[in-house]
Chains A and B, each alone.
Chain A
Amino acid sequence: MKNRLRVMRAENNWAQADLAERLEVSRQTVNAIETEKYEPSLTLAFKIARLFGKPIEEIFDPNHSGSADKA
């Protein structure tokens, strides 16, 4: 699933570590979501959406599936 997390983080001038701290996850988790190696749970996706003040579908695009979570 494609996402705009990296772009939105850059717009806020946040490092991955800053975003990770705000989301209470590890920096590796933020990186894995940004590089589309991992698709976050609904709970984390909502948390991200709330943090950026945007609807989930503006951040995550379910119509473009990437390589995340595939063997």
Chain B
Amino acid sequence: MNATSTAHRFLYPGLPAAALWILSYLGARLALKTLEMDPWLRVTVALIPVLPTALFLWLIIANIRGLDELQRRIHLEALAIAFPLAILLLWTLGLLQVAIDLPAEDWSYRHVWVYLPLFYFVGLAIARRRYE
């Protein structure tokens, strides 16, 4: 089990599931924006991404459980970095929203979520470097 095979193990099932998740999210958004639907159908469409998200989570957790103890620690440390950074971002945006007129179109939760995986990958790089 080397670093490359670990990455492959992690990415191989994870990427298609992540793609499915993102596609279902974008599809649901597009449908909600463009199609006329009853309220119950709108709620159903809004909940469609939950299924691929659950699949993605299950695959990620199953993969992390299959890693060795150091690799698991690296992922834990990545989360320990990413989680406070995510809170910091949300708090800062919240305060900025009070301080100035922050354009909601640029800084709503629909756009800010992109930073969360970014923080995780930053944390992963920092944690990996520590044990190199």
Q: List residues of A whose CB falls within 8 A of some B CB.
A: 17, 20-21, 24-29, 31-32, 37-38, 40-41, 44
Contacts and interface: CB of A to CB of B under 8 A. Distances in A.
Interface stretch (B1-9, B14-22, B85-93, B105-113): B1-9
B130 A37 contact: yes
B3 A27 contact: yes
A33 B28 CA distance: 48
B70 A32 contact: yes
B2 A29 contact: no
Contacts of A44: 69
Contacts of A29: 68-71
Contacts of A38: 70, 73, 131
B1 A25 contact: yes
A18 B130 CA distance: 23
Contacts of B38: none
Interface residues of B, number: 14
B69 A20 contact: no
Contacts of A21: 1
Contact of A20 (B2, B73, B130, B131): B2
Contacts of B2: 17, 20, 26-28
Interface in B43-80: 67-71, 73
A44 B71 CA distance: 13
A28 B132 CA distance: 7
Given A26-B1, A27-B2, A29-B70, 8 more contacts: A25-B69, A26-B68, A26-B71, A28-B71, A28-B132, A29-B71, A41-B69, A44-B69
A37 to B, nearest CB: 5
A46 B2 CA distance: 21
B3 A26 contact: yes
Nearest to B128: A28
A40 B69 contact: yes
A68 B2 CA distance: 21
